[in-house]
């Protein structure tokens, strides 16, 4: 699944601005964790439960009280018919009815059938919830008892006598469920077109919600073939994973309806099922193409051409992956559909990929280059799954990191192939790696791979959909691909997919195939792929590598943002890694060295008086680098004299490493600040973006203190040349920069210039916004600059500006435009408007449920909004948790987004009180709350230690020369 991580506003580069006074400090986002920021599965506990039999009291030892299915039965095929009602019944409920016949094989003799069923009202057959029949000559035993085991979400069938091992049977159920708006299972999405309310019936099964649509063996390894039939109104179309047969006209309960049946699917997991009933329309590729590609969306969106870019790029990206895996696309068609209500960024359902509208639709006249990049990377992420994840599937959710980390990594390869001028292979560093290193540097982080027995219930599974899984997973696989070479990596993938197609694996299966490819290519490694990689996936965190260029001594140590934090998670590797160190010396050729112990000496890394050394070239390794003070001084001198001699990614890396090393008390804070001094001559995006994100921490800690003024003055001095550079190359803001990254950096230039008071900036943005207000039907603001202009104008404006933007938000039919306005509305400095906006977040008529948490986080990123949002969430926690999905991934993002400024004892105690008040009702926010407590404590210590010297440094840098 693709995620917009934490806040799925757009790709990481299109950042949210936290506005206060003149400072709109942009907060960085990470993507495709995101990507898919964000598979934000939602399972609200308040959804109306159908009437069910009472839970049978029993001891925890009973099979139906365990969250994992027994290994006694294996599904073979399902025949499922579903009829969603797109209008409410007399009780004002939207419902669906259906029946399911599952054929299964008895693997071990048993007198129990345990199958998942959640929130379904099952029809009674002679007093039982199901019927059982024997197949192929087998005799079905009689039913003894049936009941619904609510805590573990099972239908339990007890039999009079055992099923025979080797025999095949089928279980028949009929049921009614609610077609709720909870974004999970079989649910409804609503939108308005030409004043008419439209209802879409659609699905989100991953990870554990297929059981909400029909009774099924709902685990990834329980693969089967699915025969789907959908009954739906005339004027609507039904879609599923496979191609449909010709629809039939039928009559049911007095209604004239259409019955659409679908070809049998390939053998697949339940979480990859999808079915949609809508009145959407489509565009498609040529009928004679090898693979039918169709883009589905609201009629107006298709008519406006918003699906054209997705159609243009899907074919080439599919072809890229077929070549990369050396394996043809396994299906006849690839449907991609944009849904008005969708919790994740996208979901890789096999043959029918579902997307949030912003992740599939692109309107050149309205959408930014960041929106376009997001569409390309999310499509690439989902198409990568068609082989890796769908054709070959993890055995259990503890290996989710391999599924999602892999798709995140190769999504940049696919997008790079589709858009070769964008430098996507570089942007993965900013969009994925830099952000997750901050999370993984906490003592409360977790290893990529979990033990199977530690991930049991749906809540545990949902917690795995985090930035460690997506972004660190991508980073370590990228590192592996680099040190064995991309060619060898793809050859190993090919044999892995060939051996395990249509079945399930554990991560060590991939290591074995990569090892075979390494051996065949005669690649020299210090140990096996498995031994090297175990240190990166079975223990949390990563090292800081310290290089002494005087002696050649190299050391490694577990890097923690808070060096005083207690690491209570043991590691069999004692927090040491096998580190592939790459480096260049004074601009020479790249060299490599493996650090295999806590320390070593490499005399090739010693320097003469005029040399400098930079390590971890292009940030290919997942580690930070520290140097002796002499080399730091030489690097700073090189940045000031001729920064282009250092590769652009490493210029960004030097800033990022220095700021993080300073937070960890390894280097002085002033050293980190000095890495930004060369920026007054830098025009490249990556160093500027890294500096902006690094300094955003300083704004979070100090924008309510006396440090704020000198800090603003310094940043104003540094960004003024960049602002003037873009003013010049755009011919006084009348042209769009040609280069993709320059377009991003133009946004940085204007945003930071306006937030720090650079002359002419505020007038520029408020003038553009005023022109739009005066002529609302003609918005001439450049799509790339829209969010920055909206935020800046709303920040300095009042209720009139806010109400105008709200009106435009409610009336736009373009999802990316709605997203920009939705975020920018949080930039106001008026507390009463922010409080009103918070109330809107819990009114689905005003803010869609899928956007509620991200909007609250946007409000909290505004210094004035942060305490308001924190108070609001605490007061409304019961409602938010129950109606907005305590099991959803986005809940973790909510807690971290609310608490990013916390840096006082008072705020720490508030967090502790919140934890105590809501014990047992934190859901997937549990881990994030622990991380927030740790981060707050680290922030408190950091502010106490650094505030004075930071104030002195900024003051000295901005004071007038005598």
Active site residues: 382
- Backbone torsions φ then ψ of 695, nearest 5 degrees: -70, -20
Cα-Cα-Cα-Cα dihedral sign, residues 813, 33, 861, 742: negative
The residue to which tokens 């070479």 are assigned: 485
- Backbone torsions φ then ψ of 882, nearest 5 degrees: -80, -35
Q: Is 361 within 8 Å of 338 (Cβ atoms)?
A: yes
State how beta strands 579-585 and 553-558 pair.
Answer: unpaired
End-to-end CA distance of the chain: 59
Beta bridge partners of 19: 24
Residues in contact with 588: Cβ distance below 8 Å, sequence separation at least 6, in sequence order: none
Cα-based torsion angle of the residue sequence 409, 410, 411, 412 in order, rounded to the nearest 10 degrees: 80
Beta bridge partners of 163: 110
Could you tell me which of 696, 759, 690 has the C-alpha nearest to residue 723? 759
The residue to which tokens 């409602």 are assigned: 879
Residues in contact with 532: Cβ distance below 8 Å, sequence separation at least 6, in sequence order: 480, 525, 526, 578
Catalogue the long-range contacts made by 663-667 (C-beta closer than 8 Å, 24 or more residues apart): 663/561, 663/697, 663/938, 663/942, 664/441, 664/544, 664/559, 664/560, 664/561, 664/562, 664/563, 665/563, 665/945, 666/544, 666/563, 666/626, 667/626, 667/632
Distance CA 530, CA 537 (A): 10
Give CA separation, 652 vs 589, 656, 659, 686, 950, in Å.
20, 6, 11, 6, 21
Distance CA 245, CA 814 (A): 33
Q: 226: exposed, middle or buried (C-beta count within 10 Å: 0-12, 13-18, 19+)?
A: buried
Residues in contact with 377: Cβ distance below 8 Å, sequence separation at least 6, in sequence order: 2, 11, 31, 32, 35, 411, 412, 415, 424, 431
> Which of helix, strand or coil describes residue 324?
helix
Largest CA distance in the chain: 100
Cα-Cα-Cα-Cα dihedral sign, residues 561, 563, 567, 570: positive
Give CA separation, 768 vs 608, 733, 758, 773, 782, in Å.
55, 11, 17, 9, 10
Catalogue the long-range contacts made by 911-917 (C-beta closer than 8 Å, 24 or more residues apart): 911/936, 914/874, 914/877, 917/874, 917/877
Indicate left, alpha or beta for 502 from its phi (over 0: left) and psi (-120 to 50: alpha): left
- Backbone torsions φ then ψ of 5, nearest 5 degrees: -75, 135
Cα-Cα-Cα-Cα dihedral sign, residues 150, 155, 156, 157: positive
Could you tell me which of 755, 671, 759 has the C-alpha nearest to residue 712? 755
- In which element (H, E) is residue 183 found? none
Residues in contact with 510: Cβ distance below 8 Å, sequence separation at least 6, in sequence order: 402, 492, 493, 496
- DSSP symbol at 84: E
Q: Is 236 within 8 Å of 246 (Cβ atoms)?
A: no
Cα-Cα-Cα-Cα dihedral sign, residues 936, 698, 687, 735: positive
The beta-strand segments (E) located in 437-585 are 503-505, 543-547, 553-558, 579-585
């Amino acid at each position: 699944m693709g995620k917009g991580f934490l806040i799925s506003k757009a790709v990481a580069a299109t950042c949210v601005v936290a506005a206060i006074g003149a400072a709109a400090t942009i907060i960085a986002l990470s993507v495709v964790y995101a990507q898919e920021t964000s598979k934000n599965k939602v399972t609200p506990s308040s959804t109306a439960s159908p009437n069910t039999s009472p839970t049978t009291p029993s001891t925890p030892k009973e099979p139906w009280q365990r969250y994992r299915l027994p290994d006694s039965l294996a599904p073979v095929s399902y025949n499922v018919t579903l009829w969603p009602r797109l209008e409410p019944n007399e009780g004002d409920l939207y419902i669906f009815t259906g029946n399911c016949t599952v054929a299964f094989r008895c693997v071990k003799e048993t007198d129990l059938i345990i199958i998942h069923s959640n929130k379904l009202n099952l029809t009674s057959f002679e007093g039982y919830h199901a019927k059982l029949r024997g197949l192929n000559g087998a005799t079905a035993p009689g039913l003894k008892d049936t009941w619904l085991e609510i805590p573990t979400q099972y239908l339990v069938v007890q039999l009079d006598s055992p099923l025979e091992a080797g025999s095949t049977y089928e279980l028949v159920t009929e049921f009614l469920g609610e077609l709720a708006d909870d974004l999970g299972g079989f649910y409804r999405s609503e939108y308005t077109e030409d004043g008419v309310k439209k209802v879409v019936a659609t699905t989100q099964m991953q990870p554990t919600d297929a059981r909400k649509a029909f009774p099924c063996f709902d685990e990834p390894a329980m693969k089967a073939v699915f025969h789907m039939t959908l009954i739906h109104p005339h004027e609507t179309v039904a879609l599923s994973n496979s191609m449909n047969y010709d629809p039939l006209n039928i009559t049911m309960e007095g209604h004239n309806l259409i019955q659409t049946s679908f070809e049998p699917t390939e053998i697949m997991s339940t979480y990859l099922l999808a079915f949609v009933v809508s009145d959407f329309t489509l565009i498609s590729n040529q009928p004679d193409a090898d693979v039918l590609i169709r883009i589905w969306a609201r009629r107006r969106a298709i008519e406006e051409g918003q699906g054209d870019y997705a159609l243009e790029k899907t074919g080439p990206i599919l072809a890229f992956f077929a070549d990369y895996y050396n394996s043809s696309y396994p299906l006849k068609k690839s449907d991609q559909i944009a849904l008005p209500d969708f919790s994740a960024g996208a979901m890789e359902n096999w043959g029918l990929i579902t997307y949030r509208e912003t992740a599939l639709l692109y309107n050149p006249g309205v959408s930014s280059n960041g929106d376009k990049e997001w569409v390309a990377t999310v499509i690439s992420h989902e198409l990568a799954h068609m082989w890796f994840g769908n054709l070959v599937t993890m055995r259990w959710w503890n290996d989710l990191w391999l599924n999602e980390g892999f798709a995140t990594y190769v999504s940049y390869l696919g997008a790079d192939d589709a858009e070769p001028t964008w430098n996507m292979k570089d942007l993965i560093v900013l969009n994925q790696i830099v952000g997750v290193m901050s999370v993984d540097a906490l003592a409360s982080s977790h290893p990529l791979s979990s033990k199977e027995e530690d991930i049991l219930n749906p809540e545990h599974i949902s917690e795995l959909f985090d930035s460690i899984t997506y972004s660190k997973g991508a980073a370590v696989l990228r590192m592996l691909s680099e040190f064995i070479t991309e060619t060898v990596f793809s050859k190993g993938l090919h044999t892995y997919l060939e051996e395990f197609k249509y079945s399930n694996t554990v991560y060590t299966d991939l290591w074995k195939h990569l090892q075979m490819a390494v051996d065949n290519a005669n690649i020299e490694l210090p140990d096996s792929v498995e031994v090297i990689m175990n240190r990166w996936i079975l223990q949390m965190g990563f090292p800081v590598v310290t290089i002494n260029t005087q002696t050649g001594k190299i050391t490694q140590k577990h890097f923690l943002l808070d060096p005083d934090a207690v690491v209570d998670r043991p590691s069999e590797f004692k927090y040491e890694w096998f580190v592939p160190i790459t480096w260049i010396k004074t601009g020479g050729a790249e060299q490599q060295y493996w650090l295999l112990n806590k320390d070593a000496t490499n005399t090739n890394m010693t320097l003469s008086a005029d040399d400098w050394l930079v390590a971890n070239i292009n940030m290919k390794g997942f580690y930070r680098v520290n140097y002796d003070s002499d080399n730091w001084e030489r690097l700073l001198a090189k940045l000031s004299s001729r920064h282009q001699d250092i590769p652009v990614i490493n210029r960004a890396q030097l800033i990022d490493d220095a700021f993080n090393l300073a937070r960890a008390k390894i280097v002085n804070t002033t050293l980190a600040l000095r890495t930004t001094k060369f920026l007054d001559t830098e025009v490249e995006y990556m160093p500027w973006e890294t500096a902006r994100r690094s300094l955003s921490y300083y704004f979070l800690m100090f924008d309510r203190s006396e440090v704020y003024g000198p800090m603003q003055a310094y940043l104003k001095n540094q960004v003024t040349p960049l602002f003037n550079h873009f003013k010049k190359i755009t011919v006084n803001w009348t042209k769009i920069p040609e280069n993709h990254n320059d377009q991003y950096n133009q946004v940085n230039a204007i945003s930071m210039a306006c937030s720090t008071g650079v002359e002419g900036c505020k007038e520029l943005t408020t003038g553009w916004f005023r022109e739009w207000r005066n002529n609302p039907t003609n918005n001439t603001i450049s799509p790339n600059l829209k969010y920055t202009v909206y935020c800046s104008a709303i920040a300095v404006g009042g209720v009139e500006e806010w109400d105008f933007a709200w009106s435009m938000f409610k009336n736009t039919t373009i999802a990316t435009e709605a997203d920009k306005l939705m975020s920018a509305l949080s930039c106001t400095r008026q507390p009463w408007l922010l409080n009103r906006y918070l109330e809107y977040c819990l009114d689905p008529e005003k803010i869609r449920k899928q956007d509620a948490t991200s909007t609250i986080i946007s409000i909290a990123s505004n210094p004035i909004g942060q305490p308001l949002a924190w108070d609001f969430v605490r007061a409304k926690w019961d409602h938010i948790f129950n109606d907005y999905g305590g099991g959803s991934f986005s809940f973790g993002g909510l807690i971290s987004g609310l608490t990013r400024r916390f840096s006082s004892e008072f705020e720490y105690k508030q967090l502790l009180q919140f934890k105590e008040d809501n014990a047992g009702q934190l859901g997937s926010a549990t881990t994030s709350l622990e991380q927030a407590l740790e981060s707050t404590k680290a922030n408190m210590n950091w502010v106490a230690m650094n505030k004075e010297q930071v104030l002195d440094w900024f003051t000295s840098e901005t004071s007038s020369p005598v």
